[in-house]
Amino acid sequence: MKNKKLYLETNNHLLRSNKKEIERPCRLSFEVAVIGGGPAGMMAAGRAAELGAKVVLLEKNEILGKKLLLTGKGRCNFTHNEADLRKFAEKFGKKGRFLYSALARFGVSEVIEFFAVRGVKAKVEQGDRIFPENGEAHNILKALIKYLEEGGVHIRLKAEVVGLQLEKGKISSVLLPEQQISADKFILSTGGRSYPQTGSSGEGYRWLEQLGHTIITPVPALSPVKTSERWVKELQGLSLKNISLYLFQNGKKQDQRFGEMLFTHFGISGPIVMDMSKGIGESLKNGPVKLVLDLKPALTFQQLDARIQRDFREFKGKMLKNSLKRLLPLSIIPVIIQLSGLDPEKKVDYITREERNKLVHRLKGLELTPTELLGFNWSIVTSGGVALQEVNPDTMGSKKVENLYFAGEILDLDGPSGGYNLQECWSTGYLAGQSAAESLPNFPHKTSPKTKAQKS
Ligand SMILES: Cc1cc2nc3c(=O)[nH]c(=O)nc-3n(C[C@H](O)[C@H](O)[C@H](O)COP(=O)(O)OP(=O)(O)OC[C@H]3O[C@@H](n4cnc5c(N)ncnc54)[C@H](O)[C@@H]3O)c2cc1C
């Protein structure tokens, strides 16, 4: 393995041709071809190579892991501190069962170990989110490139795959604009449709439909939400912690979250909004939806009223607008007073019980009207993708095309924020790489570390 080299190649000399039929001389041949150099593709390519396979990784961007570098605001929340694989999988809803095998093979502790041996120590932060100790997504990418290097993966950047060639029900090669690369096994890890500016623009889905796979309609998930209220704009940039958010439709509560959210110029964002966005999007298809914010979920109505009375005693002789600063962030005070229908200049000494009541109700029930999700350009993940019943969960292999495997967000799986989605990429990528290598006719390879391990 040590004498293998890393091949970094760009194909900027390969220009797109206007000709419909392009001669594509088959210059290169590999055992495993991985399409898409995001987290899932890198893990898949690395694992197949670690088992001794001759692997090519094809990425259309000029760098690997363009989206990975944006994760966790550049800090990369690369997994979640949940050792129980069933509890972990539950976060993906009913479909999460699909992940059992992948998580059992390469779960949270294996991922932490994987990065630790490549110099990236894990640090558990608030909400059991796991980040690199030194706080950079860049280090996660470096560790993955090291893994590719160790296995001698042939990396091709600026290599946009434009199609797949099928022969006798199997894929025989991938098509680049003016080149063809043949392989025995193919791993598709082209991601979903979110943040298309990072390269994930959904090409994979098109090819798969042509190959007979069902694609569950991709929709944005973990998305910021647009709201219609004008006052929201005034609060732009305000982040609220420890609040509760409720989703209502036709007077019935559909969902609720507790945690942190953010006001933006168009509406709301932040962890609890993102996590609720899929449900908001689905509910909006059925009609109007209300969101209700409880700014003081730890206090009952009576407790909050008592707390306000205490504050009013302290601020005796002061105007209402200057008497709520112990209770609320400054920027939201005028909005709350206005929405409660109160006079901001009235002295707190003269505020009536009825007026206090209005204030308490507004603090525990601030209504927002969502109009739409912000769309793929701003959504963290894509919900939908390759139908899971057409993929073998023990191998990540296609049940439709013999030599095809899947990894990452291209699958119809999406989890909440908190490191779940990257863990899904590591687990499915590792399993896809392993399965592809193990299904090669000459496996185990003589040079495979696994072979060595088995001997010892
Ligand atoms: C802003 C942001 C922050 C996030 N933060 C977190 C976080 O902290 N924690 C977390 O768990 N998740 C996070 N996510 C989600 C996480 O980044 C994704 O789940 C993950 O990147 C999906 O990995 P993937 O390898 O499946 O796909 P991608 O990362 O999308 O990679 C797919 C790759 O395939 C390439 N490709 C596509 N088509 C072709 C083609 N035709 N030819 C060649 N190459 C092609 C693309 O260029 C791309 O590089 C975040 C996402 C975003 C957008």
Q: What would the DSSP string read from start to end of 137-192?
A: HHHHHHHHHHHHHHHT-EEEES----EEEEETTEEEEEEETTEEEEEEEEEE----
CATH of the domain at 365: 1.10.8.50
What's the burial of 169, exposed, middle or buried (CB within 10 Å: 0-12/13-18/19+)?
exposed
Q: Is residue 19 part of a domain?
A: no
Residue 286, in any domain of the structure: yes
Does residue 363 sit in the same domain as residue 275? yes
pLDDT band at 135 (very low <50, low <70, confident <90, very high): confident
Question: Does ligand 1 have an atom closer than 6 angstroms to the CB of 414?
Answer: no
Residue whose entry in the numeric block shows the structure tokens 């604009």: 177
Would residue 1 count as lying in a domain? no
Q: What is the pLDDT of residues 176-235, one digit of tens each?
A: 998 999 999 999 999 999 999 999 988 889 899 999 999 999 999 999 999 999 999 999
Domain boundary among 347, 374, 401: 374
Q: Note whether 216 and 230 are same-domain residues.
A: no
- Taking a C-beta distance cutoff of 8 angstroms, is the pair 389, 429 a contact? no
**Closest protein CA for atom 6 of ligand 1:** 71
Predicted confidence band at 169 (pLDDT cuts at 50, 70, 90)? confident
Q: Answer yes or no: is the C-beta of 45 below 6 A from any ligand 1 atom.
A: no
The number of beta carbons lying within 10 Å of the beta carbon of residue 386 is 23
As a whole number of angstroms, the distance between CA 425 and CA 397 comes to 15
The answer to whether 58 and 37 have CB atoms below 8 angstroms apart is yes
> What is the number of the ligand 1 atom nearest to the C-alpha of 198?
47
* Whether residues 254 and 154 fall in one domain: no
Measure 322 CA to ligand 1 centroid, in angstroms.
47
18 in any annotated domain = no
How far apart CA 206 and CA 98 sit, in angstroms, is 23
Q: Which atom of ligand 1 is nearest to the CA of 409?
A: 26
Structural domain tally of the chain? Answer: 2
Contact residues for 46 (Cβ-Cβ < 8 A; gap 6+): 144, 147, 148, 150, 151, 153, 433
- Is 341 a residue whose pLDDT tops 90? yes
Domain co-membership, 307 together with 439: no
Answer yes or no: is pLDDT of 280 > 90. yes
Using the 3D structure, point to which of 318, 351, 374 is the last residue of a domain.
Answer: 374
Considering the domain architecture, whether residues 146 and 176 belong to the same structural domain is answered as yes
Decide if 281 is inside a domain: yes
146 within some domain: yes
Evaluate: CB of 39 within 6 angstroms of ligand 1: yes
CA 37 / ligand 1 centre spacing (Å): 9
Question: Cβ neighbours of residue 130 under 8 Å, at least 6 residues apart?
Answer: 77, 78, 79, 80, 81, 108, 112, 122, 123, 124, 419
Q: Is 258 helix (H, G, I), strand (E, B) or coil?
A: strand
Whether 166 and 182 map to the same domain: the answer is yes
**Each residue's pLDDT tens digit, 12-22:** 333 233 334 45
- Rounded to an integer, what distance in angstroms lies between the CA atom of residue 43 and that of residue 86? 22
Regarding whether 305 and 258 lie in a shared domain, the answer is: yes
Domain with 359 in it: 224-374
Asked whether residue 103 falls in the same domain as residue 135, the answer is: yes
Identify the CATH number of the domain in which residue 101 sits: 3.50.50.60
* Domain assignment present for 454: no
50 and 159 assigned to the same domain: yes
Task: Retrieve residue 13's tokens.
Answer: 């000399």
Distance of CA 20 to the CA centre of its chain: 36
Judge whether 23 lies within some domain.
Answer: no
Considering the domain architecture, whether residues 161 and 187 belong to the same structural domain is answered as yes
Bridge-based pairing of strands 7-10 and 154-157 is parallel
Dihedral angle over CA of 312, 316, 319, 324, nearest 10: -30
Nearest-CA residue for ligand 1 atom 19 is 421
**Same domain as 434, residue 400:** yes
Neighbouring CB atoms inside 10 A of 79's CB total 30
Site to substitute for ligand 1 among 73, 193, 200, most atoms within 8 A of C-beta: 200
Three-state DSSP at 216 gives: strand
Q: Does residue 439 surpass a pLDDT of 60?
A: yes
The lowest-confidence range among 56-70, 159-173, 393-407, 418-432 is 159-173
Distance 317 CA to ligand 1 centre (A): 57
Mean pLDDT of the residues in the chain: 92
Shared domain check, 260 and 175 = no
Give the rounded percent of residues in the chain with a pLDDT score beyond 70: 91
Residue pair 79/108 in contact by the 8 Å Cβ criterion = yes
Among the three residues 359, 374, 389, which one is the final residue of a domain in this structure? 374
